[in-house]
Amino acid sequence: MSSPVAGWHAEHMYFRQLLALLRKELEVFALGDQPNYDLMLDIITYLREYSDQFHHPREDTVFAMLAQRVPEMQLPVARLQQEHRVIAHAGEALEQFLRAILGGVVVPRSDVETAAATYLVYYGNHIAKEEEDVLARAAEMLTPQDWEAVRHAAPSGRDPLFGDKPDERFRALRRQIAGEAG
């Protein structure tokens, strides 16, 4: 079994792949062309359903433990927890805009660009900060009992995209990811 930190890192790498795909589609949008809105919605849906519901609650538990044990980590982890809220809010807004567009509603370009930019910048920087400052510290400071508590901090859930049995609804996204990797 891999360590919790290795699993956390692997998820970050998956999320980075998805953010890169989303960025590519947003570049098409920025040029005034027609992006693949369905693909964009699949990316946001996955990140909101999996990351916001399973990954981030576990991180928040680690952050609380680190803040308690390592006083100089209190402010950095408070910022990371705040970023989870910003990411969730921007992701929700972007998801609503994409659903509206796919439903035939005209959405102001600036609204989509603002939500997308906020989402991409916060999420990308957030992952980088965790990779740089938190993962190694968590591996050093947390006990096996702590990691067990972290595991129970969010409901059990399988990864519907990168897991062993991906959901049918993410088939096109999996093909796109495979195409990008190949």
> Do 55 and 66 contact (CB within 8 A), yes or no?
no
* Chain Cα centroid distance, residue 86: 12
The helix (H) or strand (E) run that includes residue 107 is: none
The pLDDT value recorded for residue 2 is: 60
Residue 45: enclosing H or E segment and its boundaries?
helix 37-46
Taking domain 4-181, whether its CATH number is 1.20.120.520 is answered by: yes
Note the Cα 115 to chain centre separation in Å.
Answer: 15
Q: What pLDDT does 182 receive?
A: 59
Task: Annotate the chain with three-state secondary structure.
Answer: CCCHHHHHHHHHHHHHHHHHHHHHHHHHHHCCCCCCHHHHHHHHHHHHHHHHHHHHHHHHHHHHHHHHHCHHHHHHHHHHHHHHHHHHHHHHHHHHHHHHHHCCCCCCHHHHHHHHHHHHHHHHHHHHHHHHHHHHHHHHHCCHHHHHHHHCCCCCCCCCCCCCCCCHHHHHHHHHHHHHHC
User: pLDDT tens track of the chain, all 182 residues?
Assistant: 468 889 889 999 999 999 999 999 999 999 989 999 999 999 999 999 888 788 888 899 999 999 999 999 999 999 999 998 999 999 999 999 999 999 999 999 999 999 999 999 999 999 999 999 999 999 999 999 999 999 888 877 788 998 888 889 898 898 888 887 65
Residue 74, C-beta contacts closer than 8 angstroms, at least 6 positions apart? 67
- Look at residue 35 and give its three-state secondary structure: coil
Which pTM value belongs to this model? 0.91
Amino acid code (one letter) for 38: D
pLDDT at 1: 42
Task: Domain ranges for the chain, please list them.
Answer: 4-181
The two counts, helices (H) then strands (E), for the chain are: 8, 0
